Structure 1
Amino acid sequence: MAAVQVAGSLTPGQQREAPREAIPEPGNGFRRLSARLCALRPDDSSSARTEIHLLFDQLISENYCQGSGVAPQDVSALLVQACRLVPLNQNHLVSKASQLIHHLLDRLQLPMSG
């Protein structure tokens, strides 16, 4: 019986390299999600609220730490945009925005100034 090697398959003992995109860079998730959020425009439709809700959840679930490469001015711009997008009559989104603010400021140890 002849051995057949499928194109792209590994021979015994070879290890597959991870694609470069699969290796996360610090702050990369934040930048990607921030860009998506900043691209949105205020809209009180159901689909817009769902998109905002999902982005907030993703931003909250990101693994942040000090020195993660996220600049304070980027966080500030994101939070300003988040507050612009949330209709004040949507209590759940207002609560989620507050949770996002607290989470980012706490995780990244950013100072608040008035």
Structure 2
Amino acid sequence: MAAVQVAGSLLCGPPREASREPPREPTPEQDDGFRRLSARLCALRPDDSSSARTEIHLLFDQLISENYSEGSGVAPEDVSALLVQACRLVPLNQNHLVSKVSQLIHHLLNRLQLPMSG
């Protein structure tokens, strides 16, 4: 299976400045929506409680429903960090969440046309 190349740290953190592409002009809604949801997801810690699973499920749904487009200003490094965190949060015995994180990966990579390395 192909994996997203994670630049730098695998932890969620501030967006990186190093980019060879010219800066994109995101709309405030696109950039803020992703950043807000990403910050909420990155603030979570692995927890197998019912309330934690519900919160993760809702965040995944919100991330999937965001209207992303190529050139939206969402940096590939930020998406990689978010996906790493999302995978860390999902207990493998929770089939529904595993399915949901797979949908999120597919959705973000397709909508943002991010390169993949294997």
Counterparts in 2 of 1:9-88, with a 5 A limit?
24-88=28-92
**Structure number with higher relative contact order (C-alpha < 8 Å, ≥ 6 residues apart):** 2
Q: How many aligned residue pairs are there?
A: 92
Give 5+ residue unaligned stretches, structure 1: 1-22
SS at match of 2:72: coil
Indicate if the aligned counterparts of 2:30 and 2:66 stay in contact, CA closer than 8 A. no
**Which letter maps to 1:58?**
Q
Q: Which runs of 4+ in 1 moved over 6 A?
A: none
TM value normalised by structure 2: 0.75
Q: From the CA coordinates, give the structure whose radius of gyration is larger.
A: 1
How high is the TM-score relative to the length of structure 1?
0.78
Following superposition, the deviation at residue 57 of structure 1 comes to: 0.0
CA distance in 2, matches of 1:39, 1:48: 12
Alignment-derived partner of residue 106 in structure 2: 102
Runs (5+) with no aligned partner, structure 2: 1-26
Q: Secondary structure at the match of 1:26?
A: helix
The equivalent residue for 2:116 is: 112
The answer to whether the 8 Å contact 2:70/2:113 transfers is: yes
1:24 is displaced (CA, Å) by 3.7
Shift of 1:26: 3.2
My pick for the range that moved more, 102-111 or 25-34, is: 25-34
1:76 maps to amino acid: S
Identity %: 90
